[in-house]
Amino acid sequence: MKDLSSEVPRDQEWITVEGFERQVRRSETRMLPCRGITCGPQYHWFGYYDKFQTDPTDRFVLSMRADFEGRTPQPEDYIEVGMIDTHQKNAWIPLGRSKAWNWQQGCMLQWLPQSPSKVLWNDRVSNRFVCRIRDVFTGDESVIDCPIYHVHPDGKAAVCLDYSRIQSVRLGYGYAGLPDPQQEILRPDKSCMEILDLTTGRRQGLFSVADIANGYPYQDAVEDDDKHYFIHAQWSPDGSRFLFLHCWSSISGRFPDFNTRMFTASADGGDIRLVTDKPLISHFVWHSPRTICIWREDGFKMFADDGSGVETTVYHAPNGHQSFLPGGEWMIADSYADPTGFQNLYLYNLRTAQVMPIGRYFLPADCRGEFRCDLHPRLTRSGRTLLLDTVHGGLGRQMVMVDLPV
């Protein structure tokens, strides 16, 4: 077994926060039971926590599965796409395949917002990335000539990023198979943020990496040999705006990994606002149509989407993946593996500051970095149950469900 714990990027390193470990390891706390809904010999997961994994009734649970894990996906590697029927002994229902995927976010498989029957995912066909939209009950399927990133709450459009660019700069978040045509260009003007109409297939460029890299002043010096790109985007709950990350890596090695700043834009790509360019920006989620919760430096911070850059600390904690239960009072979050190898799962009440530990899941030392299996806690539509990806059962990455106590 290869120990990869010393090879993790800066944003995945364990950060000791005074009081956090004491709060999540209280001896009197009884961890909530989990129940598996997948099993080996194949490996199952869903990935990120910013999309619908279940249908509106919470009966069907989307999943990807692979025959291998522990290595970088190659162009010829495909994964299966399917759903689990929780009313039929967790039976697997196949839906298709994908050759456009990674370990962290899979192929962007998700239930289409506002639809009781349609799902969508990214794929690679010949020399292009595409998005498949499939009715899981009738089998009707359409293919759109553009991969999606994040779908608008009304289900009619999606914001789209350049996966070839991401793959060339940030291994683990792009897709293998298609080279970046602007590989040698540090601030590309043809690597763009786009909006895709999911009904007509029409795509519209909003702005390029060069527009943002050249058009907005930096807090710290940026050199000519820094390589710039977009990564991560997310619509606000009301769909009026979306956020995105502008990142850059140093070709000469002036700094490790990458630097980041967050912006928001209106749905048509205008009214661009800097949310923050402070150090160590990581996971984020909209708390309301006007506020964004970001993990930064030493905890979860709240930012207003007004361009002021003012931050308010919500909770001092190590880096993790956060979401909010319906009503916005309770935050669910996990953590990267702590010094003992455990990922911590907990609830935090924004009004009372109550911390409620609900799980600890062991992550082996050979499951770190690009191949890691983050818990990525995801809420079902009802908001009463969590879905997790975990290797804690010794069967490789599989999915479990946890009923919430609040």
Superfamily of domain 10-403: YVTN repeat-like/Quinoprotein amine dehydrogenase (2.130.10.10)
Look at residue 219 in the predicted model and tell me its pLDDT: 82
Mean confidence (pLDDT) of the chain: 93
Look at residue 3 in the predicted model and tell me its pLDDT: 47
pLDDT tens-place string over residues 92-127: 999 999 999 999 999 999 999 999 999 999 999 999
Where b means 16+ CB within 10 Å and e means fewer, 10-30 reads ebbebbebeebbebbeeeeee
| CB proximity list for 296: less than 8 A, separation 6 or greater | 276, 278, 279, 280, 281, 282, 311
Average pLDDT over residues 227-237: 98
The answer to whether the CB of 230 falls within 8 A of the CB of 244 is yes
The domain segmentation of the chain, as residue ranges, is 10-403
Average pLDDT over residues 279-307: 97
Look at residue 345 in the predicted model and tell me its pLDDT: 96
Look at residue 6 in the predicted model and tell me its pLDDT: 47
- pTM equals 0.94
pLDDT tens-place string over residues 135-157: 999 999 999 999 999 999 999 99
pLDDT band, very low/low/confident/very high, at 11 (cuts 50, 70, 90) = low
Q: Locate 386 and state its tokens.
A: 């969590």
Q: CA geometry: angle at 333 spanning 332 and 339, to 5°?
A: 150
Percent of the chain with pLDDT over 70: 94
**Lowest mean pLDDT segment, chosen from 26-30, 350-354, 359-363:** 26-30
Asked whether the predicted pLDDT for residue 4 surpasses 90, the reply is no
Average pLDDT over residues 174-180: 97
The answer to whether the CB of 196 falls within 8 A of the CB of 203 is yes
Residues paired with 135 in a beta bridge: 118
Look at residue 117 in the predicted model and tell me its pLDDT: 98
Look at residue 329 in the predicted model and tell me its pLDDT: 98
Asked whether the predicted pLDDT for residue 256 surpasses 90, the reply is no
Look at residue 163 in the predicted model and tell me its pLDDT: 98
SS3 assignment, position 60: strand
Considering 8-17, 129-138, 219-228, the range whose residues carry the highest mean pLDDT is: 129-138
| CB proximity list for 209: less than 8 A, separation 6 or greater | 162, 165, 187, 188, 189, 191, 192, 228, 229, 230, 246
Asked whether the predicted pLDDT for residue 7 surpasses 60, the reply is no
Asked whether the predicted pLDDT for residue 220 surpasses 80, the reply is no
pLDDT band, very low/low/confident/very high, at 382 (cuts 50, 70, 90) = very high
- Length, in residues, of the chain: 406
Look at residue 52 in the predicted model and tell me its pLDDT: 98
Residues paired with 144 in a beta bridge: 131
Cα–Cα distance for residue pair 262/278, rounded to 1 Å: 9
Asked whether the predicted pLDDT for residue 23 surpasses 90, the reply is no
Q: Locate 285 and state its tokens.
A: 């989620």
Between residues 26 and 377, the one the model is more confident about: 377
